[in-house]
Structure 1
Amino acid sequence: MRYPGSVRSSERLSRTALRSRTGLMLNQEARPAVKVSVSMITYNHEKFIAQAVESVLMQQTNFDYELVIGEDCSTDNTREILLEYQKKYPDKIRLFARECNVGMRQNGHLTRSACTGQYMAFLEGDDYWTDPYKLQKQVDYLDAHPECAYCCHRVAVLYDGKEDDSFGAYWPKGEQAEINGFVEVLTGACEVPNCSVMIRRELQTSMPDWFIKMPIGDYPMFCLCAQYGTVYYSSEVMAVYRRHPQGLTSSWDWSKPVLNRRLVCKHLL
C-alpha cells in the first residue's frame, strides 16, 4: 500500500512533551526550524556512511529538511568523510562530532535533541534509503492525518551486500495491518524498522529516565510514542537495513528484546 498523496495543513497532537537540550557538544549553530530533521547516528561506518548520507541528500521534497549527524568519536575515517560532506553542504548538514565515545544510546539521545523539524526521520550510518520521495510521502501522510503519531514502512535486508534469507530478505517478513496502535507495537504485531520511521518530533523530546537505561532504545521509544496516536505502516519498500559483521545485530544478544519488552510492560502497563 502506497502513502496517500493528499496533503493538508498539519495539526499538533493534544499531548506534548517537555523539551530537553542538555549535554550536547555542538559544532554547528542551530538554524531556523525546518519541516523535517533526519537524525543519523554513526560510529565506525566508513564503508557505508557515504551511501547513507547520499540517500538523504537525494530526497526530492517541496519543503526544507536538515540532516543532523551524531558522530560518536569513530576510530576509522567516518568523521573525515562527514567533515567533507558538511563542508560541501553547510546549509543541509549539521555535524555533531563527539569529543569522546558516549555510546549508541546517549549519542542517539543527543542527536535527536538537536533536531529542529516538525517531523523527525531516523537513519543509522550503515543503512540507507532507496526511494527519493520517501520523506515527501511520509510528510504528506502525517500532514493529512493529525491523529497519526508516526509512520513506518517495510525495508529490504542486506547482509554483506546480499539479501539476508534469515529475515526473508524483507522486514517485516510477513503482512501486518496498515493502522496500528500502542498494543500492536508493544506486542510486536506491528514491527517498526528504525530506518523507516517518521515521527512527530514533539512526542519524543522528553523521554522518562528509565528510557536511557533500556537495553535497546528503538522499541521503547516507539511504544512510548504510540500512546499518543495511531501508527501507519506501508508495505512499500523504501529503505535498506544492513547487517554486517561490525553491525549491532551480528553479535546480538537475542535475550535483550525479551528483556526490553518486559521492562516496557513494567513501566507502561
Structure 2
Amino acid sequence: MMKPLVSVVMITYGHEKYIEESINGVLSQVLDAEIELLISDDCSPDNTEIIVKKIIDTHPNGSWIKYIRHTENKGAIPNFAWTISQSTGKYVALCEGDDYWTDPLKLKKQVDFLERNEDYILCFHKVKILKTDGVIVEDFITKIPENYELRKTLAENSNYIHTPSVLFRNIKLNELNSLEFQNTPIGDYFLYLILTKYGKIGYLEDEMCVYRYGVGIFSSLDEFKQLKINSLLYANLYSLEKDPNIKAIFYKNLYNIISQIEHQYIVNAKLLATRRHKMIEKIYKKLKK
C-alpha cells in the first residue's frame, strides 16, 4: 500500500450514536491519493467497536481504516496526541467521533490550498452547527477575527477553529509529548498554537462539516467549570511557551479567567449566604411555635 497523502485522526469514546456518520463522511472523500483513517477507541463502554468493525468489513473503502482499541483508558488528550503520532500522511485531518464531514471534496480543497501556499501550516473552514434539538444552523459559536491567519491573533482570541474543519502539515511536534500538553484539558486549541509556530493559518469559506453542539466535553459544561478548564489550559500554555510576547498574552488571559472565577465565587457565596439566612429564619420560626 502506498504512503497516504492524508491521515485522518478520529479519536472516539462512547460515540456509538454518531460514529457511523463520522466514518462515512471520511470514507466518502474524493481525492486522487491515498487516505488513511486512524480510529483510536479509548476503551468505549458501548457498541462503538462493533459498529466500526462492521464498516471495515462492508464499506467499499473500509480498507482505509486502521482501528485501534486501547486496552486501558488513556484519557482524551493522551489519546489525541498518541493518534497524531501514528499518522504517516503528508497531511493530518481531524474529525472526532461525534462530528461529521458533508463535502466529499473537503480534503481535496484543503490539500490544494496547502500545496499552493507553502507558508501556511494549517487550513480550516466554515462549519454548520447541529444543535441538541436536531436543527442544523449557521455557526453561532465562533467569529473569525481580522488577521485570523496569525499566531498572535489566535493567542489573543478564544478558539475560532472547529476541530472537524482542520487539516495541517504533518511535522514532528515534540511538544505533544510535553507534560503541559499531556495535562491540558483542551487539546485542539493547544495543538493549533503549537502548529502556528511553523506557519500561518488558512481559511476557506466553504461549509464542509457539521459540529455537534452540546455533545463534546467542553461544550456541555456549565460556566464555572468552563472557567476552571480554561484556567488550566492557559496555565499549561504559559508554562510551555518560549516567545515572551505570546507568553504575556497567555498570562493576561489567565489573569482575566481567575478574575472571573473570583467574581463567580463572590456571587455564589452571597447567594448561598442569603439562602442559608432564610433557611435559619424558617427553622427559628418553627421552633418558636
Same-fold status (TM-score > 0.5): yes
**Partner of 2:233 in structure 1?**
260
Query: Gapped runs of 5+ residues in structure 2?
Result: 242-246, 248-289
Deviation at 1:243, TM superposition (A): 2.3
Identity, in percent, stands at 31
Alpha-carbon distance in 1 for matches of 2:216, 2:116: 40
The answer to whether the 8 Å contact 1:181/1:227 transfers is no
Q: For residue 102 of structure 1, what is the amino acid of its counterpart?
A: K
Change in Cα spacing, 1:209 to 1:32, as seen in structure 2 (3 Å) is farther
Alpha-carbon distance in 2 for matches of 1:107, 1:124: 12
Q: Does 1:210 align with 2:180?
A: yes
Q: Tell me: higher relative CO, structure 1 or 2? Use CA pairs within 8 A at least 6 residues apart.
A: 1
Alpha-carbon distance in 2 for matches of 1:193, 1:101: 25
Alpha-carbon distance in 2 for matches of 1:145, 1:151: 10
**Partner of 1:142 in structure 2?**
114
Q: CA offsets per residue over residues 43-94 of structure 1, 9 Å max, x none?
A: 1111100000000011111111111100111111111101112233452100
Alpha-carbon distance in 1 for matches of 2:206, 2:147: 11
Aligned-residue Cα RMSD (Å) equals 2.2
Change in Cα spacing, 1:132 to 1:221, as seen in structure 2 (3 Å) is same
Alpha-carbon distance in 1 for matches of 2:73, 2:159: 33
Say which one has the larger Rg. Answer: 2
Q: CA offsets per residue over residues 189-226 of structure 1, 9 Å max, x none?
A: 76111111101111536523321111211111110110
What secondary structure sits across from 1:51 in the alignment? Answer: helix
Change in Cα spacing, 1:161 to 1:130, as seen in structure 2 (3 Å) is farther
Q: CA offsets per residue over residues 154-189 of structure 1, 9 Å max, x none?
A: 21111225347xxx7405543434751110111127
Alpha-carbon distance in 1 for matches of 2:205, 2:140: 10
Change in Cα spacing, 1:246 to 1:40, as seen in structure 2 (3 Å) is closer
Structure having the higher helix fraction is: 2
The answer to whether the 8 Å contact 1:182/1:230 transfers is yes
The answer to whether the 8 Å contact 1:73/1:100 transfers is yes
Aligned mate of 2:166, from 197, 211, 234: 197
Between the two proteins, the alignment pairs up a number of residues equal to 236
Query: Gapped runs of 5+ residues in structure 1?
Result: 1-30
Alpha-carbon distance in 2 for matches of 1:204, 1:195: 20
**Partner of 1:18 in structure 2?**
none
Deviation at 1:120, TM superposition (A): 0.1
- TM value normalised by structure 1: 0.80
What secondary structure sits across from 1:111 in the alignment? Answer: helix
Q: For residue 90 of structure 2, what is the amino acid of its counterpart?
A: Q
Change in Cα spacing, 1:229 to 1:171, as seen in structure 2 (3 Å) is farther
**Partner of 1:77 in structure 2?**
47
The answer to whether the 8 Å contact 1:163/1:169 transfers is no
